[in-house]
Structure 1
Amino acid sequence: MKINKTIIVSIVGLMTSAGAFGGNNSMPDRTDVKDFCSVISQYDKTGDSKPFVHFVTTMWPKLNTVDGREALVNIHQLAMEEESGGYGAAYVGKEDALAQLLELLNKMGITGDDLTKMLEYMKKVYPLYVFQIENRVRPSVDYDNGLVVDTIYQAPVDEAYYGLANEKNKYVPTGLSVQELEEVESNGGRGKRNGSYVWGMGTYKDKLFWSTNNNYLCMQGYGNFVQPGVGDNVPYENSCWTCEYGQSAYAKEAYPDGDENSKYADIRPPRMYSYDTKSGIVTDITPSMDEYPVLKNCQGLRSCGIHKGVVFFGGPGLYASDWDSRVSAAFVAYDADCDRILGVSSMSDVDGCKVVNVRRWRVINDVLYVTVGITHPTTGKKIGALLRWYGDKKDPWNFHIVGLVDNEAAELAYFNNRIYIGTWGTVSAVHVSPELPKEGFTPVGIDSDMWPEVWTSYAAEPSNTLGRSLTSVAGFHEWRNHLYWGVFCPNYYVLSMAQATYGSLTSPDALAFILGNYRTPSFWRLDKDNSYEMLYGDTTNPKPVYDKDGKIEKWELEPNGLSAKWGRGGFGNLWSIYIWAIQEYDDNLYVGTMDLSNLAVAAGSNILGDVGFATLAKLLTGLDSSDEGFELLRMTDEDEAPKFITQNGFNNAEQYGVRNLEVLNGKLMLGSASMSSLKPNGGWHVLSLADARTPASVSQSSIKKPGIIMERNAEYINLATVGGERITCIEVYDAIGRKINSARPDSHLASIPLQNIKGVHIIKITSEKGEWEVKADL
């Protein structure tokens, strides 16, 4: 859009005639003035002044006053005037808009040099900012969705927290009692929920199983996201969570003096749970860390697979990266029928390969498969593999490689009688298998051909940019006539690279780098001919142009030749970075996301972080009216855009992600992610969703809500009520119905000694809220 020459002359006249900056030496020249207005008119295609005003007042908070914002609105309107329009009726009496701005700048002590700096931001950053925020139209909200949502269980309050690195902090893995928490609060402390993610989830008969991780943003590497320029191992606390690293009281308990690995102390060993929907009993089935120390050396248990009564949990190694880990991944095998641990393994030798990561399990035609990352035994190259389970309860660790892909194998689906694998890597891809034989795939050699690609991240972004290299396949599921998937865009890595490259997050070059590489997740589908379609995503992406010295000179928008069927990436939400879980339920497709908006605000307020983070968070958040918390969407027709079921984590802003979706007894079970360990509604949650309008859904009364949490060790079964109400009676019966023990605890806690009890028994628990019954092999 050309700017009116009359306007330019008028602006220049106002600039040169006003003594706004205390002398001609501090005045910007005519070129600066023309460029300033040209940038606005060139990139504000909608003519909306809000982005411009928000951008300028974020970068220069002194202008964030009533007068300052009004002056900026006027100057924006002035710059946006059509060449043939002149000032128009709207500008009668407002010809002094620029003079008003300059006078205001002068009063605030902002000089011509400041305006020159502002112009640099306008040239380098503003175009990328406008690109990121424009045309972000969101799906509609299905307010009449018919879903009944219940909280099944929440990460327990498992630590008495008195402050950052306070020696009184006390970690209790199975959770604090109500009385213990009241005592902590009366002594000036508060409860902390270390559990971050429901990282793995699966179903078996009437039971739901899940596994967790703890304080995941305290993992090595994430410090550069939260504290750019400070990095890992410097303890910090913000409004949502805290990381104490090696200075925590727990570190001193769990690690010997001087142990360098105490920096991993926040990543407490993972927990495992089961929920019996018929009895209403939640059981902590975590094995002893002393008996199985490999669990101390993993980031958490990020996946769950179940077949023939065996529940597998698996997660990546703790130290260093997934690929260069000093320890392999960690796996647990659990007998779902007899409620016992079958064993723990590092899977360090599967067909001569070391398994270092694991993501998805799937039973296909009565065969259990799992996607893993492995290291080639001779080249050491990182590749992905599909493993098939040949074991049973007596031999749970009998796995073999049946397929290979060229990057870490992550997502797994079965569509059109083929297995599809989505990968993570610098070029992520969707790979397809040959047709699946009736008996399933059989073992292959480590140097066998890789499965071919049917989609890569090149499709969305032809140039090799940092933004593209951080894009990985996620959220994989078949539905009706298509295979659907999303991607993960870990934009926090862009922050650390900007800080390392430019020493700042808010210089013009650093902000341009961040906004130029910032991506929101695209959403795709594939038909039976392996032709793909982009449903949500960007049709152009910023691409850096380098000078002769290899420095970024400018950014250009590069088209990818695609069209987006329904809208921009992230379902229109700038803070959505992950399409994390997809699942079919009642013939509809449900899609869950990760929304980082509340984390960004918290990190921006971090007491030790770069103050530039707060500026960046405000810049990207100010025009985004998104409610904090994850989004859950539902598709009911392949030809219609999905609709939001919730945009705010079902009114819980602390729940930033839908990590897992499973179907159990006619309900959709949701496992969430949250880093808000210091918030009452923080920590992971397990939710159930049922469509009351659909006959296939089970009524609310047919699944018993949890009332008792149970944990056992070699000597006792420990019981506690979920809601803190008193247990009034406990009765223990043997297999033929004889009562062999009873007690009246009159407390929300109770223990059953196991020294003289063996075999299968029935435990009946009565509390102030109801009765529960559990079958236990004692």
Structure 2
Amino acid sequence: MSALAGLAAAAVLAAGSAVAPVRAADTYTFELLGKAAPDECFAGIGRPYPAGPPCAQGQAKVNQAYVWGLARVGKQVWFGTGANTQCLTSGSSLADANPVVNADYVCEFGESQVAREHAAVPDALGDVRPPQVWLYDAADGSLTNRSAEITGASEADARRLRSTLGLRSAGTLNGVVLLAGPTLTSTLNVFAFDAVTRKFLGSRTLARYGNARTFLAAAGDLYLGAGIGPDGSLGGAVLRWRGNRLAPFLFEQVATLPAQAADLAYQDGRIYATTWSTLRPTTDAQLGGVWRSPPLPLNGGEWTQVWNAGGYEPDPLIAETYGVGGVAAYGGWLYWGTMHVPLKATKVHQKAYPQSTDEAKRTQIRATQRAASIWRGRNLGTPDQQIELLYGESALPAYNPETATWAAVPTGWSPRYGRSGFGNSFNNYTWRMAVAGDRLYVGTMDWSYIVQDVSDQAPPTDPAGWGADLWTFPSADSPAEAVDTRGLGNHLNYGVRTMVADGDDLYLGMANPMNLRTDPADSVPEGGWELLRLDRSAS
């Protein structure tokens, strides 16, 4: 059993079971608009890929895993994908690049043909495949892959797409659609399409930046939250788009942040940015947090951090692993939630405080697990600032290096509505928030399904809890209600990665990295990204 498998086995023991969700009173229907198809044949780790699909040898594999960037222009929904994203996260964020194969997925890492044939591809990213650009047209229900327009435009454009780890963000303004994503060389590639003619406008590499997670249209401008260095490890920035159809790649940096920007929201004439922690920070400003801009339009000026993980998490090492993700303005409040890469805090603690006995190791694993907490605030950055913990913990385990013991330490907060993860300790990401109509929606990542693949020694998780959650706040005076807690029709969908509103309704881009689940004749649903539409009917 690998080290990661051992961590997962103990993590399940710490996680416990989910509580019964409160069901939303309104009626929701989900329509599957698009689904990733098998695009490769797999015959074993380290072996050449047979021709196909269809696959005369080996089995069909679907590499495209996430709807990673999503934008709507009228009836058009544009999105960019990410391939084998779970493998990339395991190899880079968790530094676990040992090849693995099971019934659900395969990660080849350095044994992949891609890593063997391309020296520029490190072992940790050996499962990378070029992302794709798709367009769904609600006017006629058509779904088209626009990637060939990029690869056919020029060798430079094709090379940029091949070197992109995934199209992690998408945005639109003034008839231009932009999709951006990090590269193998820790730069940022941007691709542009004309929303009127739907033609490809070109691509550029922004060498100064290494990541981009979110576009935001606000007060007549389009902004991009970016990271500097590999996965934003050297800081963050907010860029304002100054382009048009003729010159679509004009950006100006309007903010510098100590940590990479993860998500953006607009409220009361200002932008709010959530950030991910920088490991081994020297100041609280580098901890995952929420930042408030000067009044728009932005022309310099200091941003103010109004909240960070250190004000909640009592263990300083674990605080360094927090990300802050989805954020949205709703009902006069700003809502946000935390993100926790599974087992990342455990590995950081193991490195700093290695344990010598099996019992101490198990305790360390159990004590370092965190589920997503949900927060809101108003009058942020002013003397009247008010912050509430909606879902979280009043105490969390913290390690005392002097006594080499763990103890429950008060966080200083009392959750207004319930426990972390909406009561499900496997809800580790607050991946996205969006307002549609009069409701706030929160999409999560739930890693309970993949635990069984990571460790054969972990107790089985409850199938009733498998799959991503979608929750809604029906008002600013009400607790959240569960719209769906089973992956929105496919329990292999472990995350609601992206959301964009269409009136009272939502388009949802799902994360599903189960790349070997491709047999429509078996009893298990299929892997690969899904694009869904949520229609709400008020009761």
Give the TM-score of the pair, scaled to structure 2. Answer: 0.87
Task: Tell me, yes or no, if the aligned pair for 1:238 and 1:603 is still in contact at 8 Å.
Answer: no
Deviations 1:376-398 (A, max 9, x none): xxxx9922222111111111121
| Structure-2 residue corresponding to 1:391 | 243
1:649 aligns with 2:487: yes
| Structure-1 residue corresponding to 2:58 | 189
Task: Tell me, yes or no, if the aligned pair for 1:206 and 1:664 is still in contact at 8 Å.
Answer: no
Task: Tell me, yes or no, if the aligned pair for 1:139 and 1:642 is still in contact at 8 Å.
Answer: no
- 1:206 is aligned, of 52, 72, 75, to 75
Q: Considering fraction of residues, name the structure with more strand.
A: 2
1:242 aligns with 2:242: no
CA distance in 2, matches of 1:625, 1:558: 32
Tell me how far 1:280 sits from its aligned partner.
2.0
Tell me how far 1:403 sits from its aligned partner.
2.2
| Matching of residues 283-432 of structure 1 within 5 Å | 283-286=144-147, 287-288=150-151, 290-292=155-157, 293-319=159-185, 325=186, 328-348=187-207, 354-374=208-228, 382-426=234-278, 427-432=287-292
CA distance in 2, matches of 1:505, 1:675: 35
The alignment partner of 2:70 has SS state of strand
CA distance in 1, matches of 2:327, 2:357: 36
| Structure-1 residue corresponding to 2:475 | 637
- 1:541 is aligned, of 360, 381, 396, to 396
Task: Tell me, yes or no, if the aligned pair for 1:163 and 1:169 is still in contact at 8 Å.
Answer: no
In structure 2, relative to structure 1, the CA distance for the partners of 1:539 and 1:665 (3 Å cut) is closer
| Structure-2 residue corresponding to 1:19 | none
CA distance in 1, matches of 2:228, 2:302: 14
The alignment partner of 1:458 has SS state of helix
Unaligned 5+ segments in structure 1 are: 1-58, 60-124, 320-324, 349-353, 605-613, 695-778
The alignment partner of 2:249 has SS state of coil
CA distance in 2, matches of 1:274, 1:222: 30
| Structure-2 residue corresponding to 1:32 | none
In structure 2, relative to structure 1, the CA distance for the partners of 1:497 and 1:152 (3 Å cut) is same
| Structure-2 residue corresponding to 1:90 | none
1:585 aligns with 2:436: yes
Task: Tell me, yes or no, if the aligned pair for 2:82 and 2:167 is still in contact at 8 Å.
Answer: yes
| Structure-2 residue corresponding to 1:564 | 415
In structure 2, relative to structure 1, the CA distance for the partners of 1:168 and 1:222 (3 Å cut) is closer
Letter of the 1:355 counterpart = Y
Unaligned 5+ segments in structure 2 are: 1-5, 279-286, 519-525
| Structure-2 residue corresponding to 1:5 | none
Letter of the 1:535 counterpart = L
1:598 aligns with 2:449: yes
CA distance in 2, matches of 1:191, 1:450: 52
In structure 2, relative to structure 1, the CA distance for the partners of 1:502 and 1:675 (3 Å cut) is farther
The alignment partner of 1:371 has SS state of strand
The alignment partner of 1:514 has SS state of helix
Letter of the 1:370 counterpart = L
Letter of the 1:544 counterpart = Y
User: Which contiguous aligned blocks of 4+ residues in structure 1 show a shift greater than 4 angstroms?
Assistant: 249-252, 258-263, 497-506
CA distance in 2, matches of 1:505, 1:340: 61
Tell me how far 1:261 sits from its aligned partner.
4.2
In structure 2, relative to structure 1, the CA distance for the partners of 1:285 and 1:506 (3 Å cut) is farther
- 2:311 is aligned, of 436, 444, 459, to 459
1:169 aligns with 2:50: yes
Tell me how far 1:627 sits from its aligned partner.
1.8
| Structure-1 residue corresponding to 2:27 | 146
Tell me how far 1:168 sits from its aligned partner.
4.3
Tell me how far 1:491 sits from its aligned partner.
2.8
Tell me how far 1:299 sits from its aligned partner.
1.6
| Structure-2 residue corresponding to 1:271 | 132
1:555 aligns with 2:406: yes
In structure 2, relative to structure 1, the CA distance for the partners of 1:637 and 1:665 (3 Å cut) is closer
Q: Considering fraction of residues, name the structure with more helix.
A: 1
Tell which has more relative contact order, 1 or 2 (C-alpha 8 A, sep 6+).
2
| Structure-1 residue corresponding to 2:283 | none
Give the TM-score of the pair, scaled to structure 1. Answer: 0.61
Residues matched between the structures, number: 506
1:470 aligns with 2:321: yes
CA distance in 2, matches of 1:269, 1:651: 27
| Structure-2 residue corresponding to 1:685 | 530
In structure 2, relative to structure 1, the CA distance for the partners of 1:557 and 1:689 (3 Å cut) is same
Tell me how far 1:584 sits from its aligned partner.
1.2
Tell me how far 1:296 sits from its aligned partner.
2.2
Task: Tell me, yes or no, if the aligned pair for 2:151 and 2:161 is still in contact at 8 Å.
Answer: no
CA distance in 1, matches of 2:146, 2:356: 44
Letter of the 1:589 counterpart = L
Task: Tell me, yes or no, if the aligned pair for 1:245 and 1:264 is still in contact at 8 Å.
Answer: yes
Which is worse superposed, 667-676 or 334-343?
A: 334-343
CA distance in 1, matches of 2:368, 2:442: 25
CA distance in 2, matches of 1:599, 1:505: 28
Letter of the 1:522 counterpart = S
**Percent identical residues:** 29
Tell me how far 1:141 sits from its aligned partner.
2.2
| Structure-2 residue corresponding to 1:663 | 501
Letter of the 1:339 counterpart = R
In structure 2, relative to structure 1, the CA distance for the partners of 1:675 and 1:505 (3 Å cut) is farther
In structure 2, relative to structure 1, the CA distance for the partners of 1:506 and 1:391 (3 Å cut) is farther
Deviations 1:322-373 (A, max 9, x none): xxx3xx111111111122221211112xxxxx11111111111111111112
In structure 2, relative to structure 1, the CA distance for the partners of 1:259 and 1:303 (3 Å cut) is closer
CA distance in 2, matches of 1:154, 1:504: 45
- 1:441 is aligned, of 274, 287, 298, to 298
CA distance in 2, matches of 1:566, 1:665: 28
Tell me how far 1:459 sits from its aligned partner.
2.0
CA distance in 2, matches of 1:525, 1:687: 28
Task: Tell me, yes or no, if the aligned pair for 2:315 and 2:397 is still in contact at 8 Å.
Answer: no
